[in-house]
Structure 1
Amino acid sequence: MAERIIRQGDIVDTVADAIVFSTNEHLFLSGGAGASLLGKHGKPLQEAMQRVMARRGLKVASRGSVFEIEPEESWGRMFAVVAANGFYETTREDTEAALHEVLHRCSETDGVKTVAITALGTGYGNMEIEDFVALFCAIEIPAPLESLELVIHSEILFREACEMNEQLGMPADVRH
C-alpha cells in the first residue's frame, strides 16, 4: 500500500519523482507554488509551460486540465493542473478528476514512484484546505506508486490540514 504524507514546506525543496502543482488558465507561473517554481527554475520553466499550451493550440485552458511539462536538466517530471477558472472557481469534481488523471499518468511513467503535490485549488481557487485534504486522504493511489506527499507552504494551512487528517482517522503520516 502506498504511503500518504502531509508535510509543511516549499514544493521547490521537495525530492520526488514527479511534482504536481496548481496553475492558472494561462499557465503563468505568477503566484503560490508557480511563483516559487519560477523563482527556482526561471524563464526556461515558464517557456516550457507556454510550449505545452501552444502544442495543444490553446490560449486559455479549462479548469481541470492537466499539462505535463517537459523535463529539463534543472527540473524533473512536473504536472501543472488548472485548478481554478478565471473567476477563481474550483470544484471538488474537477480537482478529483485532475488528480486521478495525474496519478494515473504518473503510475504509467517509468521511474515514477513518488509524487509530491500542492493543495490544488486552495490558493487562488475557492477550495478549502479541509476539502482538499479529505480528497487527498480518500483518493486511490495506483500501483506502482509508493508515496503521495501533500506539501503545504503555509503554517496555518498546514495546521488545518493536520486537524482534518486527524478528524479522518489519520490516513496520512504527518511530517514537519
Structure 2
Amino acid sequence: MKIHTRVGDVLKVAADVLISTANPWLNLSGGVNGAILSAVGPKIQEELHAYLKSQANSAVSAGSVVRSRAGNLPFHFILHAVAIDPFYDSSIELVRKTVVSALDLAIKAGAKTISTPTLATGYGPMSIADFGTAIAPLASDLRFDGLSLTIVVRKEEHRSELSQAISAARTEV
C-alpha cells in the first residue's frame, strides 16, 4: 500500500472511500463527523442511527467500522471507524485494528483509493505520531497491495510529525 500525507480538508480529497473518525454512538457530533453533518445534512446521521436500531444497540464496540453513503461528498461511501472506546480512550493497537478492518471492507467493495484523517487524535488521546506508528506497518502488508491511502491533516507541522513517525516505524520493522 502506498501511504501519502497531505495538508487540507479531508472531505475535499477525492477518493473511492473516506475512512472517517467515529464515536461508539455513531453521532456526527464534532470534528470530521461534524463536518460531514454540515456538508451533507442529516441523511447520513439518520442512516447510522438506523443501523444501530437494526442491530438493537445504542452503540458499537471499539474497533467497529460501519459503512454509510457519502451524500454529495467526493467518495463512493464512508467507513465510520470507531478507534476509541466509550471513554474516548485508544491505543496504537486499537487504531491499527480499526484501520485494518476499514481497509478490508474497502477492498471487498472494490476501492483502490482511500482518504482518512488521523483517527483517535482529536477527541481521542492519541498523538499524530501515534497514528503514524499505528498505520506504518500496513504499508508492507501484502493484503493491501494496490491501495493508495492518503492521510489528510490540517497543519503542515502535523504532516511533518506524521511523516517522521511513519518513516521511523518502517525502519523498526
- TM (norm. structure 2) is 0.86
Aligned to 1:142: 143
Alignment correspondent of 2:72: 74
Task: Among all aligned residue pairs of Structure 1 and Structure 2, give the percentage whose two residues are the same amino acid.
Answer: 25
- In the TM superposition, residue 166 of structure 1 has moved relative to its aligned partner by 4.8
Q: Which runs of 4+ in 1 moved over 6 A?
A: none
Corresponding letter in the other structure for 1:56: Q
Once the two structures are TM-superposed, the CA of residue 155 in structure 1 deviates from its matched residue by 4.1
Matches within 5 A, 1:17-28: 17-28=16-27
- The aligned counterpart of 2:160 is 159
C-alpha displacement at 1:34, in angstroms? 0.6
Whole-Å separation in 1 of the counterparts to 2:5 and 2:26: 26
CA distance in 2, matches of 1:141, 1:29: 33
Distance in 2 (CA, whole Å) between partners of 1:159 and 1:28 is 30
> Which stretch shows the higher mean deviation, 157-166 or 7-16?
157-166
CA distance in 2, matches of 1:161, 1:83: 17
Rounded to whole Å, the distance in 2 between the matches of 1:83 and 1:169 is 22
Is residue 102 of structure 2 the alignment partner of residue 102 of structure 1?
A: yes
Instruction: Give the alignment's Cα RMSD to 1 decimal.
Output: 2.1
Helix, strand or coil for the counterpart of 1:80?
A: strand
Residue correspondences, number? 167
Structure 1's unaligned 5+ residue stretches are 171-176
CA contact (8 A) 2:135 2:166 kept: no
SS at match of 2:6: strand
Distance 1:47 1:141, change over 3 A: farther
